[in-house]
Amino acid sequence: MSGTVELEEIVKAHAAMVRRIATAYERYPDRIEDLVQNVWIAVWRALPRLRNQAAIKSYVARIAQNICVTHVRRALVRHTEPLDYTLVDPAPPLDDATAHARRLARLVDAVRSLPENLKTVASLYLEDIPIKDIALALGISESNASVRLHRAKSAIGLKFGETS
């Protein structure tokens, strides 16, 4: 492993971020678990190549993105189609926590439905990674990352019924 960076510390610090990124690419809990495990294996293997330990969050996020993109590409080759039908929910009115959870679920669905180039930028941005670091992680210019983020925000806003 890489000097002062310990895998356990990295997992504790970034587990929630990795899970959220995996959730943006996969909707089934068991497959999310598999993705998360695959990410941590890849992080463990990649740690010796980490040069700038201060950039560990971006490093882990980028590895998570790559694993998730590969997962989606393989799933497209398998071409499985889940059953998708909507039932009307006869439940009583929502409390604040439930309403927040539903809005968050809508956001995750909106991010999932974005084109790959926008989804990558949006999910990294939602992890509070600065646009400069996102551009660096993706190998694109900062202005390109900003444009992609703006397009992602616009597309998500449309899904929420907002007009710009």
If you write DSSP's letter for every residue of 43-86 in order, what string do you get? HHHHGGG---GGGHHHHHHHHHHHHHHHHHHHHHHHT-------
pLDDT tens digit string along 107-154? Answer: 889 999 999 999 999 999 988 899 999 999 889 999 999 999 999 999
Give 43-84 pLDDT, tens digit per residue. 999 988 888 877 899 999 999 999 999 988 887 776 656 656
Q: What is the pLDDT of residue 86?
A: 67
Task: Look at residues 5, 45, 37, 1 and name the one whose alpha carbon lies nearest to residue 18.
Answer: 37
Q: Is the pLDDT of residue 88 over 70?
A: no
| CATH architecture of residue range(s) 86-164 | Orthogonal Bundle (1.10)
Task: Find the largest Cα–Cα distance for the chain.
Answer: 56
Q: Quick one: angle between helices 116-125 and 7-25, nearest 10?
A: 140
Q: Are 137 and 58 in contact (CB under 8 A)?
A: yes
Query: What b/e readout covers 14-38, taking b as 16+ CB neighbours within 10 angstroms?
Result: beebbbbbbbbbbeeeeebeebbeb
DSSP per residue, 105-142:
HHHHHHHHTS-HHHHHHHHHHTTT--HHHHHHHHTS-H
As its CATH architecture, domain 1-84 has: Orthogonal Bundle (1.10)
Residue boundaries of the structural domains of the chain: 1-84, 86-164
pLDDT band at 3 (very low <50, low <70, confident <90, very high): very low
Mean pLDDT of 94-102: 79
Task: Kindly state the tokens that stand for 127.
Answer: 């992890």
Query: What pLDDT score does 11 carry?
Result: 93
Decide which of 97 and 43 is more confident.
43
pLDDT score of 101 more than 90: no
